[in-house]
Structure 1
Amino acid sequence: MDAKTFADSRARRPGPPDKSGRFRSPRWWGLVVLTYAAAVLAGAAASFVNMPLPWMLGPFFVLAAFSVAGFEFALVPLGRELGQVAIGLAVGLRFTPAVLAATASLLPAMIGATLYVIAFTMLAAFLFKPLARVDDVTAFFATAAGGVADMATVAKERGGAPGSVAVVHAMRVSGVVALVPFLVVLFGRPGGAPETAASGSSNLLLVLLALALGFLTARLLKPTPLPNPWLVGPIFTGIVIGVSGLFEVGIPSLLIVIAQIVLGTWLGCQFRRNLLSALPRVTSAAIVTSLFMIGCAALGALVLTAATGLPFTTSFLSLAPAAVTEMVLTAQVMHLEAEIVTAFHVMRIAVVSSTVLLVFRLYSTLRGGRVGPSL
């Protein structure tokens, strides 16, 4: 799939209302209602059967299945971003001076973990290339531990296939989100951390004020190179509010449930039958390499736990090759140290985004300098 085909397929997705109001038709609003009604029912069913992270995984599984089957859905504008704001605030409010000091003491471990993630994602590129029969550029940026938009753009600039890169990242993130909560339940145990900053006031006005401040911080940080400002910005806001004692506020559990539904719905709707069917070999190879990376993360978590004394589940989520929002949410719902998971992932994203071209040169050298598209 070339860049134009991928862009066209993205353009056909139902999106937020544009300025002309083209999507404000009754049909569009009907799709929005249908989408989130299905998501709520899926979350309720997942909760009934005690599925891990039910309000995110239930909508994710159901909407992904329907989306692959060809059904059309519509998403609330800024829904995913607002969900991240709520999650980020809840995590940030858990920081205290003692937690900040404990997190800072893990800085050497964060650096080592980041280098380990870079190493095993590069190994994944060596595995992915022959399985998918793609060029070296596409293989490297498809498995690099960076954001999908950034990696697809850089791959395109260097002659790779951005469509393949985007599909692999979507499969990797989705695979990790689908498997890791079950692995955490099977091989770990829930922690004792609070799910939200429940000790603070749930006064509606204070909650709205905190959300507004988190949203404003995210908007201000959006033009900066800071990774994932919609999550990291509200985390900073929550830290400032919590540590300074500016005011006491707790994010209601219901709001976290809504955030899970919105995020799971967004993830599920990223699966499109036309993309997956156009790249069957790439899709199959993506599944194999995703499992490889999850296995590497589990092995690394054993070492990280032995070196730092962190619970295995916290170490595993800290190394898991997925989007920071989903892993932080998993840690939060499992009552683990979500703030530590956040710190590891933010460190990883910051280092990867600033050094990916240097690592690509190393990969090119190991591949004998062959970085152009395969014939």
Structure 2
Amino acid sequence: MSTQPEHGADKRRSTSAMAPRNLARLCLTYALAGLAGYLATLIGMPLPWMLGPFFFLTAASVLGYISPIVPMGRELGQVAIGLAVGMRFTPAVLLATATLVPHMLVSTLYVIAYTFVAALLIKPLARIDSVSAFFATAAGGVADMASVSKEYGGDPGSVAIVHAMRVALVVAVVPFLVFFLGDHGTAPASTEVGATNYLSLIIALGLAYLVAVALKPTPLPNPWLVGPILTGMVLGVSEILVVQVPSFLIIVAQIMLGTWLGSQFKRSLLVRLPRVTISAMVAASFMIVCAGMGAFVLSYFGQMPYATSFLALAPAAVTEMVLTAKVMNLDAEIVTAFHVMRIAVVSSTVLLVFKLYMRMKGSEIGPGIQ
């Protein structure tokens, strides 16, 4: 995965992908991704339309294939998923979610604690400096953590690799674990009956997109997912516009997400820093185990299904965890709320926790910390 914040690289690759000479390759990439998704459905893979393209493109990227991507494909996929999740909110669901706010805060502290321990674990394993170890395991976005790490003297390349492996392992493992738990929900009645009004759907998707764009300059985490969720909530709860997001659109969104995730891996980078890559897998496995153990406690005190609790505590990959919950008819709304709370708290406290970490390590604090 790229060692720098991905947005600029994605934009350049997306733009070049639309050049005539790359159009055939772009079509081939997504055709093969769609085929991988279909084959994944035949073998009963959980979340097949995302994991099939993800595994295929990861393998192709590691072998040296540079995959062109659809401009803003991942963002538009998140818009569709976010709107579908937002439309599932009702006044009763909002009330039930609000009662879980104390559980969200405690769970966020738990996630901060186990990522803190993961930093202590990965530093000697990967032989990286304390600053890089901390920001590599902090439960925040890769671009933000790599940038802050560089500001305080860390190695953004190592940070990016650890985050990439964490997200990859969570996406590759957690849906399987949830699937084999057998704790599937039942589809809400609103998605089982009635035809899709495509004019209303287009209007709702347009509104969701505009809200996401409007929220980009704000500190709100992941506006491409959270903005459409908020849009769906307002439209659905107020009954101004109630739409059904068709299953084929969710399938397309999954293909977009899986293709984007798989295309982020670069063989040259993984070969250059093999020890960091392997150590990142160990640290990610540790965090998944911690999330699984914490889910037992959360499911008991929060009176939630274990699978929902597990997805709520999973270390990052918010879009993919929300998507997993939606596809398996679990409480995607609750999973969303837990992850948004975590991202908001981590983003606002990460430097305070960093100070504590550095003092525990007996290390000098970087130039940007007072």
Q: Is this a same-fold pair by TM over 0.5?
A: yes
Equivalent residue in structure 1 for 2:272, among 274, 278, 302: 278
CA–CA distance in 1 between the matches of 2:235 and 2:191?
Answer: 12
CA–CA distance in 1 between the matches of 2:18 and 2:239?
Answer: 43
Which residue identity does 1:15 align to in structure 2? R
Which residue identity does 2:92 align to in structure 1? A
Equivalent residue in structure 2 for 1:155, among 123, 138, 149: 149
Q: Provide runs of 4+ in structure 1 moved above 4 Å.
A: 5-8, 10-14, 195-201, 370-373
User: Is the Cα contact below 8 Å between 1:135 and 1:371 reproduced in 2?
Assistant: no
Unpaired runs of 5+ residues, structure 1, are none
Q: CA RMSD in A?
A: 2.1
Equivalent residue in structure 2 for 1:233, among 227, 231, 234: 227
1:134 aligns with 2:132: no
Unpaired runs of 5+ residues, structure 2, are none
Deviation at 1:24, TM superposition (A): 3.9
Show the counterpart of 1:300: 294
Equivalent residue in structure 2 for 1:326, among 320, 331, 341: 320
User: Is the Cα contact below 8 Å between 2:86 and 2:232 reproduced in 1?
Assistant: yes
CA–CA distance in 2 between the matches of 1:241 and 1:151?
Answer: 34
CA–CA distance in 1 between the matches of 2:81 and 2:214?
Answer: 18
Instruction: Give the match's secondary structure for 1:246.
Output: coil
Percent of aligned pairs sharing the same letter: 63
1:35 aligns with 2:29: yes
Show the counterpart of 1:91: 85
Deviation at 1:322, TM superposition (A): 2.2
User: Is the Cα contact below 8 Å between 2:5 and 2:143 reproduced in 1?
Assistant: no
User: Is the Cα contact below 8 Å between 1:331 and 1:341 reproduced in 2?
Assistant: yes
User: Is the Cα contact below 8 Å between 2:36 and 2:53 reproduced in 1?
Assistant: yes
What TM-score comes out, normalization by structure 1 length? 0.93
User: Is the Cα contact below 8 Å between 1:90 and 1:197 reproduced in 2?
Assistant: no
Which residue identity does 1:291 align to in structure 2? S
Equivalent residue in structure 1 for 2:47, among 43, 46, 53: 53
User: Is the Cα contact below 8 Å between 1:198 and 1:250 reproduced in 2?
Assistant: no
User: Is the Cα contact below 8 Å between 2:321 and 2:335 reproduced in 1?
Assistant: yes
Deviation at 1:138, TM superposition (A): 0.1
Instruction: Give the match's secondary structure for 2:13.
Output: coil
What TM-score comes out, normalization by structure 2 length? 0.95
Show the counterpart of 1:71: 65
Size of the aligned set, in residue pairs, is 366
1:70-89 per-residue CA deviation (whole Å, 9 max, x = no partner) reads: 01210000100000000000
1:112 aligns with 2:106: yes
1:268 aligns with 2:262: yes
Show the counterpart of 2:96: 102
Show the counterpart of 1:16: 14
